[in-house]
Structures are given as structure tokens and as C-alpha cells.
Amino acid sequence: MRIAYFDTIAGISGDMTLGAFISAGVSLDQLIAELGKLRLTGFEVTAKHIQRNGIAAVKVDVVISEAPKYHRHLADINAIIDQSALTTGVKDCAKKIFHEVAVAEAKVHNSTIEKVHFHEVGAIDSLVDIVGTSICIELMGIQSVFSSPVKVGNGGTVTTQHGIMPIPTPATSEILKGYPVVLTDIPFELTTPTGAAIIKALSQGTLASEQITVTAIGYGAGTKELTAVPNLLRLIVGELEPASNRDEMLVVETNIDDMNPEILPYVIEKLIAAGANDAFLTPILMKKGRPAHLLSALVERSQMEAILSVMFRETSTLGVRWHHVERRKLTRTQRIVQTSLGTVNVKSVTFDGKERLIPEFEECKRLAVDTNLPLREIYSILDRELIR
């Protein structure tokens, strides 16, 4: 699997990301040609080779000659992207990044993603940064993205369209909720909302001890010269071949001791429908020997708000907690196989080069109804016929 790993030496921004990709081998001319498919005017993309602390890097600038005369909404940006001649993969990637920004901006300004004004994030330079990043990912054949814990500045301020803001800015902080972050003592905006959104929308998490065959390394330079650390984003491109897929999840949980337990299975169904990968109950004893249930949900970061909404709306809880977990999972696909009972949908799981076929419960239940055989007999028949 070909991956991109963002090492946020001094945070991440849109222009640093483009610089890192060009440094790693993306052709500037090809990038500019693809950006031309946006059919936007009034900008020029330049790149120059510089050194930061003796390290060769690429500094990308988006030079604006004609600024937009109005603020854009998410619908405006999506329309620009959808009406372009870019590939479907690039379009989907760019819109996913913009959506993360819209959600955060709406939360910070107590608005909705439809109404929120993007200000500088909706300006041409950020369109170029986000769409350009999506183009680079496709040009380099990137299948998955990972990153280091994201470094952010702390203790300073930055001037925005809304006035003076603390660092990290509220939008950046909101976007990175649920993602590993390092608060540095550097009083500059190391990670911008655009950079944070790139990580949040695309990254599957951080890496630990996986083996990577490195094929390219690039450095993208930020604007400021920093004394504490080289102002660089390092991009590592390579092949990751783990025995099992790895991702990072959240376990969201709460203790329930004051509601009708008959309702809890319904809550489990609602959590699954809201996007939880798994949801379950554990009997527990609370203070004074009071019996209760621990309600837990295994979720991806992107589904966090939906899961919290279900827990607060459907249960009596007054608060929830969550923690990060790492998960390894075997690669699985869906297959239709022919058996003596007819065609059956099964999961195909491969490990150590051996395939294992697993029938889904609903399929077994359907066969039991169709054949009028006991469910346990259906399982026995399929167990015998699906052995590989």
C-alpha cells in the first residue's frame, strides 16, 4: 500500500503541503496544468528551492492578482470543484477537506455549514492549496495518509478576518479535536485551519513501528524563520505492507444506572445506525454496590459528533468519556459463493495467504427461513462447504 506520511516538524499548512509534494517529485508544471481545470483566474503558483537549517526544501507561494469580491459558502466552493474538469477522486478529496473546515467554522461561529462564510479559507489561495493537495495525492498514487501528532503553536496571537485570535486558532483547535496534537511553546501559527483539515480529512492516524519502504522524501517550507525548530513539513512517501490493516479509533463510553434496561438494545441499534463500528453493554457495579451498565461505542473520529448526539438524546447520561485505541484488522471483502443451499453472501478474510469465508448471520437466517431447516444446521452445512 502506497502511503504518504506527514511529519509535522513545524506544523502543517496548505502551502507547506504543496511544497513538500513538489520537493518529493511532483512536477510543478503538471500541478499547474491540473489546477487550470478549476477554470479560475487571478492567481499564479510559484515554487522556489530554499534551505532551512541546512535542509533543502521547496517554498510554494500562491500569488493573487485578483481577489474575490465576496465571501464564499461551502456550496459555492463545491460548485467550483464539481464544475471543473478534475477527476472524480480529486473532487471528492478536496470536498472532504473543505467539509472539515466548514464543520469547524460553523461550530466556532455558532452557525451552520450551509451559512458559514469561509473568508480566507474560501479565497483563491486556499482553493489552490486544498485542490492542489488532492491533485498531488492522485499524481503520486497515494492510497492512504498518516501523520505524526500534529504540532501547533501556543501562546501567541494571529490576525484573521474576525480580528485577533489566540494560537492555535479556534478553527484549528476544533478541526483537530480527537486527533493527537502536540502543544509546543512556539508562539506562532504552526498549523493553519487548512493544514489541520488536510490531516483530519485524509489521515488514518499516526504510525508506530510499521515498516515502510521509503520511495520519496520531500520538505515543504513555511514562511517564517523559526529559531526553535526548522520551519518545515516533511513528507515521506513509501510502501506500507503490514500483515493487517491498522487504524485509530475512539472508544466512547458512559455509565448508565438510572434508566429502563429494555431501552438499551434500542440505543445500541441507534449507535450502529449513526456510524459506530461496534456498540456493546457491559454489566458493572457502581458506588454503593449499585448495578449498572457500561455503554461503549467504537467509532471513527469523523462519526464522533453523531455518536455523542445519540448518547445524549437516547440515554439518561449527563456526560461521556472517550479514549484513543489502535486497531488492527484483517483485510476483508464481500463475495457471493455458490453452495448446496444456493448463493450466499460471505465475508472473505485473508491471513498468511490463506482465505477464510465467513457467512453473515442475516444470510444464514434467510437460508433457514427459505429452506425450513434449523439455523444451527445451516451453520453446519456452510461451515463444511466454505472451508478452504
pLDDT category at 121 given cuts 50, 70, 90 is: very low
Average pLDDT over residues 189-208: 91
Mean pLDDT of 48-61: 95
Does domain 246-326 fall into CATH 3.30.70.1380?
Answer: yes
What is this structure's pTM? 0.65
> Does the pLDDT at position 149 exceed 70?
yes
Q: What confidence score (pLDDT) does residue 120 get?
A: 47
- In this prediction, residue 155 carries a pLDDT of 77
Q: Is the pLDDT of residue 176 over 50?
A: yes
> What pLDDT sits at residue 334?
79
Q: Is the pLDDT of residue 235 over 60?
A: yes
> Does position 25 have pLDDT exceeding 60, yes or no?
yes
Q: Judge whether 334 and 348 are in contact, CB under 8 Å.
A: yes
pLDDT of 119 above 60: no
Cα–Cα distance for residue pair 93/96, rounded to 1 Å = 5
Share of the chain above pLDDT 90, in %: 61
* Predicted confidence band of residue 69 (pLDDT cuts 50, 70, 90): low
Q: Where are the domains of the chain?
A: 2-242, 246-326, 332-385
What is the chain's Cα-based Rg? Answer: 24
Q: What is the mean pLDDT of residues 178-182?
A: 89
Mean per-residue pLDDT for 261-278? 94
Alpha-carbon gap, residue 220 to 169, rounded angstroms: 22
Average pLDDT rounded to a whole number, residues 38-55: 92
